[in-house]
A and B are shown apart, each in its own frame.
Chain A
Amino acid sequence: EDQVTQSPEALRLQEGESSSLNCSYTVSGLRGLFWYRQDPGKGPEFLFTLYSAGEEKEKERLKATLTKKESFLHITAPKPEDSATYLCAVRFSSGGSYIPTFGRGTSLIVHP
């Protein structure tokens, strides 16, 4: 059973059509939730870190929010250049591990 689940697996939007990506986790003891963007053929690029429920971070058209069991990445009025795979990673407190668990990602395509 996956500890970190991202949905949907794939999302197609028209330019300007706002939407949200979801990252949910099943293990308690969150010690950080991370969002990354990955373009084809490149390594993931860090976007946000969230540590506690209620926290929000924003960058341009992206806003990340966190509740006790999930995080949302809201994309407002997306542009074609926002097309990428968005990865979520969660660090749990179990054993003091600094190794985050990654979800499988959401592939976003924004059509002009």
Chain B
Amino acid sequence: GAGVSQSPSNKVTEKGKDVELRCDPISGHTALYWYRQSLGQGLEFLIYFQGNSAPDKSGLPSDRFSAERTGGSVSTLTIQRTQQEDSAVYLCASSQGLAGGLEQFFGPGTRLTVL
């Protein structure tokens, strides 16, 4: 079966522009996570979706960041008015969630560069 996919793989944008990053989780996985990974840094949690519950947005660094998950499947992370410090690799992961294992399966990431 297909793993987690993310698009685009690379995104270069200018400071102040909005960007949308997409994640397609593994079919049947109810939990979806977004992380940010800067060079030489660990994974920084951003947001977590579990089924139809309200998302846990506690990791979002500012109100310029938002995410949605439509139909319990595909998720989009939106960054408005991008800043240079937003440059990083954005990783999406899914897991079986409450009904199964908590191990996460990651996508290949989207490398965002803000000029």
Known: A43-B4, A98-B97, A99-B33. A87 touches B104 (CB 8 A): no
Asked if B102 and A49 make an inter-chain contact with CB atoms under 8 angstroms apart, the answer reads yes
Asked if A42 and B108 make an inter-chain contact with CB atoms under 8 angstroms apart, the answer reads yes
Partner of B104, one of A97, A100, A105: A100
State the CA gap A38–B69 with chains docked (Å): 26
Asked if A102 and B42 make an inter-chain contact with CB atoms under 8 angstroms apart, the answer reads yes
Which A positions have Cβ atoms within 8 angstroms of B?
Answer: 32, 34, 36, 41-46, 49, 87, 89, 91, 97-105
Residue of A32, A43, A49 contacting most chain B CB atoms (<10 Å) = A43
Q: Select the stretch in B14-22, B43-51, B60-68, B72-80 that faces chain A.
A: B43-51
State the CA gap A99–B41 with chains docked (Å): 18
Q: Would you call B85 an interface residue if the criterion is a C-beta within 8 Å of the partner chain's C-beta atoms? A: no
Which B positions have Cβ atoms within 8 angstroms of A?
Answer: 4, 31, 33, 35, 41-43, 45, 48, 50, 56, 59, 91, 93, 97-98, 101-109
9 closest Cβ pairs, A-B complex: A43-B106, A104-B42, A102-B43, A46-B103, A44-B106, A102-B42, A43-B108, A49-B103, A43-B109
State the CA gap A40–B43 with chains docked (Å): 14
State the CA gap A46–B48 with chains docked (Å): 18
State the CA gap A36–B104 with chains docked (Å): 9
Of the A-B pairs whose beta carbons lie under 8 Å apart in the complex, a sample of 10, sorted by A's number, is A32-B102, A34-B103, A41-B108, A43-B108, A43-B109, A44-B104, A46-B105, A89-B43, A98-B48, A104-B42
Could you say which residues of chain A place their CB within 8 Å of the CB of B45? 99, 101-102
State the CA gap A44–B93 with chains docked (Å): 9
State the CA gap A103–B41 with chains docked (Å): 9
Asked if B102 and A98 make an inter-chain contact with CB atoms under 8 angstroms apart, the answer reads yes
State the CA gap A58–B69 with chains docked (Å): 36
State the CA gap A102–B93 with chains docked (Å): 13
Least CB separation from A2: chain B residue: B42
Could you say which residues of chain B place their CB within 8 Å of the CB of A41? 108
State the CA gap A34–B105 with chains docked (Å): 12
Could you say which residues of chain B place their CB within 8 Å of the CB of A46? 103-106
Could you say which residues of chain A place their CB within 8 Å of the CB of B41? 104
Could you say which residues of chain B place their CB within 8 Å of the CB of A91? 102
